[in-house]
Amino acid sequence: MNIVIFGPPGAGKGTQSNLIVKKFNLHQLSTGELLRKEIKDNTFLGQKISSIISKGNLVSDDIVGNLIEHHISNKIYKNRLIFDGYPRNLIQAEYLNSLLKKYDQKINVVLKLNVSLETIKKRILERKTLEKRSDDSEKIAIKRYETYENNIKPVINFYKQSNLLKVINGETTIAEINHEISGIIDRMKG
């Protein structure tokens, strides 16, 4: 089973993916985390993308496309992927479909976490004290939210048309959201 989870910054994509991978033996593919690792390791790619991420903009479709192909093509992860934070625009959504087709796979369900800007600001400022993410100031959190809003509508329509979209209230507790997502996956497994 391959799952896409998306939503604005601080929606709980990473939190929920973490719980789901353990429960269902899946593999989390967070493009944000992969990109932050490149920056931390100070690779050529990391140097190139560092300022883009700090400003709350999207990294190029080619760069993230290469990162995800690396995982999709790996047989160990075949039909076990949860895409956290990919796709973020229509080009990426179409590219993901074509890549999965190339490796004889598909998306089984798309989870959209809905959270208000007020909640996002609160969560991100709380996280800022724990993790030192370069993009976790209030100003950049708002910018990331705007970037999300400006790109995501065609993605939502894309997955609505293919009947894969499940909308989830991301404002409740971590446990409640996990329970809802687990139920969706359990029902799909039959």
Q: With CB under 6 A as the contact rule, which of the stretches 21-29, 70-78, 82-90, 180-188 interacts with ligand AP5?
A: 82-90
Measured from the CB atom, the residue of 13 and 112 that comes closer to Mg ion is 13
How many residues touch ligand AP5 under the rule CB under 6 A: the total is 30
Q: Are strands 109-114 and 81-84 parallel, antiparallel or unpaired?
A: unpaired
Q: With CB under 6 A as the contact rule, which of the stretches 19-27, 52-60, 69-77, 94-102 interacts with ligand AP5?
A: 52-60
- Is 31 near ligand AP5 (CB under 6 A)? yes
> What is the DSSP track for 72-116?
HT-GGGTT-EEEES---SHHHHHHHHHHHHHTT----EEEEEE--
Binding mask 128-167 for Mg ion (x = CB under 5 A): ----------------------------------------
- Is 65 near ligand AP5 (CB under 6 A)? no
Measured from the CB atom, the residue of 13 and 144 that comes closer to Mg ion is 13
Find the binding residues for Mg ion in span 14-73 (CB under 5 A): 14
35 φ/ψ angles, rounded to the nearest 5 degrees: -70, -40
Q: How far is the CB of 42 from ligand AP5 (least distance, A)?
A: 17
- Is 58 near ligand AP5 (CB under 6 A)? yes
